[in-house]
Amino acid sequence: MAKQRSAEAPPFRERVYTTLYRLRYGWQFRSSVEISKEEPIWVLGTNYYDDPESGDKHRDVEGAPPHVMAFMEHFYSVPWMTYRSNFPPISNTALTTDCGWGCMVRSGQMVLATALNRHMLGRDWRLPTSSDKDKDIHAKVMSWFADCPSPQAPFSMHALMDQAVRHDNHPGDWFGPSQVSVIMRECMKVAKTAIPDLKNVQVYVAYDCTVYVKDVLQLFHDQYDEALVLLVPVRLGSETLNSIYIPCIQGLLSLDCCVGIIGGRPKHSVYFIGFQDDKLIHLDPHYCQSAQILEDGDDPCQFDTKTYHCPTPRKILANKMDPSCTIGFYCKGLAEFHALREEAEKVLAPPKQKGVCH
């Protein structure tokens, strides 16, 4: 069985980190962010809005309208990666926690996990209503991100840091969204040899905010079998976000193929998944939990996923977003990639910015 290490096991320094980060970022799971019942809510290409024909008969016991309940189901289903403590030391270091430095890497894990969930289960999968079989598949996907050095956890912090070192980065450093994109691409190359479910998944990182279609087409060996995770690092302003890009960000988050944005505030990374009005909805990795370990011989389908889902949405004003970010997309097959090209060109703003290069 997958094991979660005891919260009392970490040494004093890790216990202090855990306490400080829980206090600093004010995590209280019973608190709630105001979700307007009147304004539409967008989450990863799905629009939740009030249906006047639904009537009060579909409202829950607390009076929440059905579109808000549907949004909460979707939000809770999105993978949530946080700081972890008391994992095996990252190779060639004494680091057994990523508290204080790993938030951008965790945000990257969330984008990739969302894409792989979609690859394995489809974009309409929801955890609360899924079958036991689908829950097992979801558990297997999440086991690939377990906090341990194992070929069966190809996207663990350990695996990502192994690739980071090869690209002249160091565990314990703060990573930018483009750096995280590159190391996830490299991890996927390794994962494809160890995990049969990933043999047809490709990761493409678009440099200079440009997707070269010819390069992407070379990744598709068969338009029905191949899947693409497309990561586009961008900078949307100099020191602060240029407000002209806010409609573009919202438009991209409303696309079917979008799997979110690695971004946040300066030196405080979060994972953006949607928006309502002028606020961006996100998952925050700044909460330290005990490491989730996948032991040799464990059944990945029995991996415990309870700590990988957040019940509390968070929002920030769109204009507070850091200008440096990476936008993620998932395309299952060549047809979806071509559809993404057409739809993305419609929402890019300003019209003359770089986007797709033929």
Query: For residue 223, which of 311, 338, 305 has the smallest C-alpha distance?
Result: 338
Query: What pLDDT is stored for residue 161 in this prediction?
Result: 97
Is 78 within 8 Å of 93 (Cβ atoms)?
Answer: no
pLDDT mean for each 10 residues of the chain (358 residues): 42 36 40 75 93 48 74 96 96 93 97 98 95 97 97 96 94 93 97 94 92 90 82 92 93 96 90 96 96 92 96 93 96 93 80 42
What per-residue confidence (pLDDT) applies to 209? 83
> What pLDDT score was predicted for residue 223?
61
Which position among 147, 162, 284, 322 bears the catalytic label?
284
Give the whole-angstrom CA distance, residue 354 versus residue 276: 26
- Rounded to whole angstroms, the Cα distance separating 128 from 280 reads 24
In this structure, which long-range contacts are made by residues 204-207, counting pairs with CB atoms below 8 Å and at least 24 apart in sequence?
204/228, 204/229, 204/230, 204/231, 205/178, 205/181, 205/231, 205/232, 205/233, 206/230, 206/231, 206/232, 206/233, 207/233
Q: Is 103 designated active site?
A: yes
Taking the model in full, what pTM does it have?
0.87
The DSSP code sequence of 140-175 is HHHHTT-SS--TT-TTSHHHHHHHHHHTT--TTSPP
| Catalytic choice (103, 187, 288, 310) | 103
Out of 74, 138, 282, 286, the active site residue is 286
- The verdict on whether 286 is a catalytic residue reads yes
pLDDT at 224 (0 to 100): 65
Q: Are 182 and 329 in contact (CB under 8 A)?
A: no
- In whole angstroms, what is the distance from residue 42 CA to residue 275 CA? 5
Give the model's pLDDT for residue 77: 97
